[in-house]
Amino acid sequence: MKDFLIKTAIRLRKRGYYRLSFWFLERAKRFGARERAEELLREEKQEYARYLLEKAREYEKKGDFTEALILIERAEELGARVDKDEVEALREKSRKQKEFETKLLLNPASMGFQFASNYRKWLFSLTGTPHFSHEDDSSRKILPPELLKVWKEAYEKPQDYEAQYKLALNFSIYGYTWEAISQAQKAESLKKTSEVEFLMGMLYMELGEKEKAGEKLTCALELDPQNQAAYYFLGKLFLDMDEEAALFYLRRCIEIDPTTDIAESALDLLGGIKKEVEV
């Protein structure tokens, strides 16, 4: 197992998936490869810190100050040297951005309650940034009655994990991915469970954020090693990232309970991989 974990971590590092590589190295330490894993972790953390600082500058230029601050603080945790004054200035910009987001999300009647990419588009438009990701030409949407009911319950019970998670799940069901992520983060801050980590993993997969998706799905497994769906979607996620890891997760999914529909889907994917390998 330790050899598998080390090799997978190295392959992921070469392909730029640092956060997932860290997870595999931490697991390798538990399986007896402490010295080698720690050596690789030191090297990777330095590389990853440089990468995070570069990405932070990109986000700051786009006007996403909160994301830029998160990346800079993460780089600092990894040992990178940062300008304290610049970080404080960025922290103030992030605070103002969060205040705006909160007003937008908690005052649907007065603020218009923009959804999905329109919400992001409006937020970025305040900074004068000409380019927006996830553009959508749809007009302002009205809350479906069922979703409005769930939102009202979550609004009235801000410290209730179940109410917050239920709203995140419903945002996801109705296709409001950005809102679902934001709401899932609120639920996660109240209680870290396998179900909310799994939901966030699925949402990040939908957005094509592979590393974030992998991190959340592996966290779901840490919290519940019998989460069969998490094994399946990790296997699916790793198909074009690391085939050996994909095989491991899909096989584990089937081992948990081979009689389920998701195990059957895993078997189909596993058969496809084997066929490609044979050819």
What is the DSSP secondary structure assignment for residue 192, as one 8-state letter? -
**143-217 has the same fold as 1-106:** yes
Higher pLDDT residue, 19 or 93?
93
3-state secondary structure of 103: helix
Average confidence score pLDDT of the chain: 80
Domain 1-106: give its CATH code: 1.25.40
**Domain topology for 143-217:** 1.25.40
The mean pLDDT value for 66-90 works out to 88
Domain boundaries, the chain: 1-106, 143-217, 226-279
Asked if residue 215 has pLDDT above 70, the reply is yes
* Cβ proximity of 12 and 242 under 8 Å: yes
pLDDT of residue 131: 32
**DSSP code string of 113-132:** ---HHHHHHHHHHTTT-S--
pLDDT in tens, 22-59: 878 888 888 888 888 889 988 888 898 988 899 888 88
Percent of the chain with pLDDT over 90: 24
Percent of the chain with pLDDT over 70: 81
The two three-digit tokens of residue 7, written as one number = 């090799």
| CB environment 232-243: b (16+ within 10 A), e (fewer) | bbbbbbbbebbe
